[in-house]
């Protein structure tokens, strides 16, 4: 798309994309650190993740203020309007992602007080898939790549399947050794948080599609055999 | 005839098929197919010189008044050919009224401004009927409360916004079916503009309105359909909501977002 006749408008729209990119990078980093804190049983790192959540919140505020300003002063239409509305929505999604990362970190603080349990590795396996998806959708956002967004959107099924398997594994483990129930219950909530991060990546994919194409993604997403555990 | 069914002709109040306008050698309007639905406000937008006013003037044959203008193609009002040789142009202009960019009240009293058309067309049998038409039109134009005690004062003494509503009252006094408005708010402040826009919305109940505007926000606020013209061609027409959230043509997108090269 060519430039606006009014240059400062282009700069403002670019600035909005930049804040989102920074927020995305921060949410990714928070998530990665939370997972490292879990795998390394690193309570210091977990505490830093919990404390770091406010920075993501601050950025979301910045997105909100900036979009309201753009809406009021520029009265955007068409692709500009979609760009601005999408930034507002994606900002909110990323804030949730960072929240879940902080939750994972909080629970790993508790886990570190308990003896280690084996299913941690299965939770990390799920988390790595979700990390990949989150990275892809953030790249897709920067590149305005709809094809990539659709691929991300379709991968939510993989996350659901993996989550369902993990859920069964945790139950089996707890039945075999009831002493692990406390730790495994925390893991179960962590897994749920991580699965939710995947859902937010999917929401971003939908918003990105709307941003670029102007219409919702077509067709029902193939749903895995999910057990609703909320 | 090049009849592309843009919408079903029976659903349209005004219908243009392959309409061209030439000013001497200049091809000002090119192969325009456009349907105007009854009781819709249709906004015509596009850069200066793209042919919006030219198209508007085709509908009530105002182009006939321009020496070197030539119109080809088919233009119908309720299915009747507007350019048919047997059509009574005076009658046509009573059915298709017009409001211009600059309020242009006659140098007469407020009352006479509105009574002018009904008198010419012999619409009132006596003074009481004429009073009724004049008061009713001023009322519908949202002006009555402001002028009812000064009907004998001259129309040119009103404020710009009041003058424009007076011109609208004058246009609706002859009970037209279609009202054409060429940038009716460009000389008005935001409050007077809001009043005219509110009026347009109310008039929609009884009239079909075609409005030319350079304000994208105005087009978005008042119209149900928007048509985008560029260099004499109709580039895109659609529901206003679609045009302003998801235009299909890059030229439309470029124009409404302010990215015109
Ligand atoms: N009487 C005329 N004689 C010759 N050329 C004309 C005449 N009227 C209009 N034109 C030309 O026809 C083209 C379309 O003019 P028109 O007035 O319809 O444009 P417009 O879209 O209404 O522009 P604006 O937004 O500036 O009012 C322009 O290039 C204009 O110069
Ligand atoms: Mg004009």
The mean pLDDT value for A150-155 works out to 95
CA A79 from chain centre, in angstroms, equals 24
| Contacting residues of B for A215, CB less than 8 Å apart | 246
pLDDT digit string (tens) for A76-88? 999 999 999 999 9
Q: Which atom of ligand 1 is nearest to the CA of B183?
A: 27
Q: Are A144 and A212 in contact (CB under 8 A)?
A: yes
In this complex, the residue of B216, B252, B258 whose CB is nearest that of residue A5 is B258
Indicate if the pLDDT at residue A179 is higher than 70.
yes
Residue nearest to atom 28 of ligand 1 (CA): B49
- Sheet of strand B26-36, all strands in order from the earlier edge strand to the far edge: B26-36, B14-23, B69-77, B80-81
Q: Taking Cα atoms as reference points, which of A49, A27, A166 lies closest to residue A107? A: A49
Distances in Å between the alpha carbon of A81 and those of A46, A88, A90, A203, B224?
39, 11, 14, 18, 19
In Å, how far is B31's CA from the nearest CA of chain A? 27
In Å, how far is B120's CA from the nearest CA of chain A? 45
* Nearest residue of chain A to residue B250 (CA atoms): A1
Contact B257 A76 (CB under 8 A): yes
d(CA B183, CA B204): 17
Strand partners, B34: B16
* Nearest residue of chain B to residue A78 (CA atoms): B245
Q: With a threshold of 0.90, tell me whether the complex ipTM lies above it.
A: no
Contact B247 A2 (CB under 8 A): no
Contact B247 A78 (CB under 8 A): yes
Positive/negative CA dihedral, A28, A30, A32, A34: negative
d(CA A37, CA A39): 6
d(CA B62, CA A61): 55
Residue nearest to atom 26 of ligand 1 (CA): B48
Mean pLDDT of chain A: 93
Within 10 Å of residue A2's Cβ, how many Cβ atoms?
Answer: 12
- Neighbour-count burial of A54, counting CB atoms closer than 10 A to its CB (0-12 exposed, 13-18 middle, 19+ buried): exposed
- Neighbour-count burial of A132, counting CB atoms closer than 10 A to its CB (0-12 exposed, 13-18 middle, 19+ buried): middle
The pocket around ligand 1, CB under 6 angstroms, is made up of B 23, 26, 28, 46, 48-54, 66
Per-residue pLDDT of chain B (261 residues; tens, 9 = 90+): 444 445 555 589 999 999 999 999 999 999 999 999 999 999 999 999 999 999 999 999 999 999 999 999 999 999 999 999 999 999 999 999 999 988 899 999 999 999 999 999 999 999 999 999 999 999 988 899 999 999 999 999 999 899 999 999 999 999 999 999 999 998 888 888 898 899 899 999 999 999 999 999 999 999 999 999 999 999 999 999 999 999 999 999 999 999 875
Distances in Å between the alpha carbon of A7 and those of A87, B110, B190?
20, 47, 26
- The pTM score is 0.83
What's the pLDDT score for residue A170?
Answer: 95
Contact A76 B246 (CB under 8 A): no
Distances in Å between the alpha carbon of B159 and those of B166, B182, B200?
10, 19, 19
Contact A78 B260 (CB under 8 A): no
**Contacts (Cβ under 8 Å, ≥6 apart) of B247:** A78, B228, B236, B238, B253, B256
| Contacting residues of A for B247, CB less than 8 Å apart | 78
In Å, how far is B244's CA from the nearest CA of chain A? 5
CA B50 from chain centre, in angstroms, equals 17
Alpha helices, H only, chain A: 7-40, 43-74, 78-111, 120-143, 146-176, 181-213
């Amino acid at each position: 798309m060519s430039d606006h006749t009014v240059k400062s408008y282009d700069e403002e729209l670019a600035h909005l994309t930049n804040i989102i990119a920074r927020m995305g990078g921060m949410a990714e980093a928070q998530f990665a650190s939370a997972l490292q804190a879990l795998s390394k049983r690193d309570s210091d790192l977990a505490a830093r993740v919990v404390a770091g959540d406010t920075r993501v919140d601050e950025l979301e505020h910045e997105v909100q203020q900036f979009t309201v300003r753009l809406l009021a002063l520029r009265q955007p239409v068409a692709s500009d309007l979609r760009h601005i509305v999408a930034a507002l929505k994606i900002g909110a999604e990323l804030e949730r992602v960072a929240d879940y990362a902080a939750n994972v970190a909080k629970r790993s603080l508790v886990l570190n007080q308990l003896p280690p349990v084996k299913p941690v590795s299965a939770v990390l396996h799920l988390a790595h898939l979700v990390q990949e998806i989150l990275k892809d959708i953030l790249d897709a956002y920067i590149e305005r790549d709809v094809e990539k967004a659709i691929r991300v959107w379709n991968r939510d099924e993989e996350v659901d399947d993996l989550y369902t398997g993990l859920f069964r594994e945790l139950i089996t483990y707890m039945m075999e050794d009831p002493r692990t129930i406390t730790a495994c219950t925390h893991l179960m909530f962590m897994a749920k948080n991580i699965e939710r991060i995947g859902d937010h990546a999917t929401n971003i994919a939908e918003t990105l599609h709307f941003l670029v194409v102007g219409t919702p993604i077509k067709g029902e997403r193939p749903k895995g055999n999910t057990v609703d555990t909320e | 005839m090049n009849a592309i069914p843009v919408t079903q002709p029976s659903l349209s109040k005004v219908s243009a098929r392959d309409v061209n306008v030439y000013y001497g050698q200049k091809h000002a309007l090119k192969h325009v197919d456009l349907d105007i639905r009854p009781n819709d406000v249709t906004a015509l937008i596009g850069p200066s010189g793209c042919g919006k006013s030219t198209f508007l003037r085709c509908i009530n044959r105002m182009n006939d008044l321009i020496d070197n203008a030539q119109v080809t193609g088919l233009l119908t009002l309720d299915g009747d050919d507007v350019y048919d040789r047997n059509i009574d142009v005076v009658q046509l202009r009573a059915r298709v009224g017009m409001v211009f960019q600059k309020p242009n009240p006659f140098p007469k009293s407020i009352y006479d401004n509105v009574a002018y058309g009904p008198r010419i067309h012999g619409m009132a049998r006596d003074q009481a009927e004429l009073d009724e038409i004049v008061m009713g039109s001023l009322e519908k134009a949202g002006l009555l409360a402001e002028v009812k005690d000064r009907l004998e004062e001259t129309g040119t003494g009103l404020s710009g916004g009041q003058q424009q509503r007076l011109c609208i009252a004058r246009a609706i006094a002859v009970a037209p079916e279609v009202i054409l408005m060429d940038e009716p708010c460009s000389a008005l402040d935001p409050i007077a503009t809001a009043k005219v826009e509110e009026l347009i919305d109310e008039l929609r109940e009884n009239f079909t309105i075609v409005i030319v505007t350079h304000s994208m926000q105005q087009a978005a606020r008042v119209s149900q359909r928007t048509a985008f013209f560029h260099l004499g061609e109709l580039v895109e027409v659609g529901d206003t909501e679609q045009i302003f959230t998801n235009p299909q043509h890059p030229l439309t997108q470029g124009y409404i977002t302010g990215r015109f090269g």
